[in-house]
A and B are shown apart, each in its own frame.
Chain A
Amino acid sequence: MSFDIDLIIDSIPKMLMGIGLTFQLLFLSLLLGTALAIILLIMRISGRWYLSWPTMAFIYIFRGTPILVQIFIIYYGFPQLEIIRESIFWPILKEPFGCAIVALTLNTGAYVSEIFRGGVLGVDRGLKEAGAALGLSVTQRFIYITSPIALRLCLPAYSNDVISLMKSTALASTITLLDMMGIARTIVAETYAPYEIFTSVMVIYLIITWIIQRTFGWIEKRMSRHIRKEA
């Protein structure tokens, strides 16, 4: 048992070939997931039971089951059903990439909508009442008063969720996708050098996490610049 430096130097470029796929999975499902979360949030706080109950059920199911099982149901499970195979979604669900995007989007959508809800509930009632007193409609109050404040409140939790989403993209390697993790696993299967390969891919993931944290830290600072006290 020895630590093979040459192997690391050889395989890092190979693993970085998968970083594109990792980023595609991350950004696409983050974008779609956030959009889904906003729809779910509006349904959830609409105050109409026929909109909020399905949303609660959706969130409960997707937060209560492992993402790995969700990926397997979508990738391996759906082809069993005739309805899915004949539906318009089949071209997407046929490909492992489409399945991974769908699974990650639904999963992150459920989590992020709860984060957004926490932000919306954290907005001071008095501000909304002031908006109402000024004659703003419900929609105007939501857009101009609730949303900006709620966004600032939920940003730290949201950045944590982006990091978990980034970590979840590694699970795409279980459905044959060759993202960074997938490539690392293939190299390990060929060379049988788990220490070298897995620790170097670990470092790459850590750098991505660090960049995400830094970016959100900067956004947070910018968004609260009018609250910060001058030193």
Chain B
Amino acid sequence: MDAITGWWDDFFWGSLVVVELFFVALIMTVLFGLIGAGAKLSNSRIAQNIAAGYTIVFRGTPEILVLLLFYFGSAIALTSIAQIFDPEVKFVDFPPFWAGSFAIALIIGSYATETFRGAFLGVDPGQIEAARALGLSNLQTFIYVRIPAMWRLALPPFGNHMLSLIKDTALVAIIGLEETLFVAEQAIATTAKPFTMYILVGLIYLGFSTVITLTVMVLEKYANRHLEVAR
């Protein structure tokens, strides 16, 4: 335990990076999920096929592979662009934070696509017809009828996606982002206490997962508040 003493602040900043990464990736995940679900439900054959390809590729390949492909792939592209302007440049990379959050959001977004698609299909068509009959526009129907009805259905699986998301943030340490796992590696290099440090990282992640689980429980209760049976 003494070994950790000097490292508390580093672990704190590392955890903060995890939180930032989580929220940035979460916003992108919802965006990719909605776009993907929209494409899958659209009438356009091309959009349907692109969305189908997207979910097949990102749900069927290891997360670490997507991450490395994005990070090193974008680095090569950026380096070759930079060399056009300045041949002296050896290596330019996309910041690991953005490469990481983008890659993770693409992966979890492919799962969210399926969840959102299912949830949109689960909305009672009668409600949408009722909205039409009341004279709501397409956009109004989407915002006031479809979204509130679908997020109730999407919330339980989406909670699981958020848990996968927070756990996938650990992978970004591999491309050198200074989050908790990376801090632990540095701490091990000086203290030679790998067990203590990695257990601490595990506890930090367990804390995050617990917070997410509880938040989803509260949100589910809130989403279904009008459906509760009086006791």
Q: A residues bordering B, Cβ < 8 Å?
A: 1, 60-61, 63-70, 72-73, 76-81, 163, 166-171, 173-174, 181, 184-185, 188, 192, 194-195, 198-199, 201-202, 205-206, 209-210
Contacts and interface: CB of A to CB of B under 8 A. Distances in A.
Contacts of B201: 69, 72
Contacts of A73: 195, 198-199, 202
What DSSP secondary structure best describes chain B's contact surface?
helix
B68 A72 contact: no
Interface residues of B, number: 43
Interface of B: 56-57, 59-66, 68-69, 72-73, 75-77, 80, 163, 167-171, 173-174, 181, 184, 188, 192-199, 201-202, 205-206, 209-210
Contacts of A65: 167, 202, 205-206, 209
13 contacts: A1-B80, A64-B206, A65-B209, A66-B171, A68-B171, A80-B193, A81-B195, A170-B62, A170-B63, A194-B68, A198-B68, A202-B66, A209-B60
Given A188-B68, A202-B66, 15 more contacts: A64-B209, A65-B209, A68-B173, A69-B181, A72-B184, A72-B198, A76-B198, A167-B62, A174-B64, A194-B76, A195-B69, A195-B73, A195-B76, A202-B69, A205-B61
Given A67-B167, A80-B193, A206 B61 contact: yes
Contact of B64 (A72, A173, A210): A173
Contacts of B193: 80
A77 B199 contact: yes
A1 B72 contact: no
A167 B188 contact: no
Nearest to A205: B61
Q: Which of B61, B68, B173, B199 has the most CB of A within 10 A?
A: B61
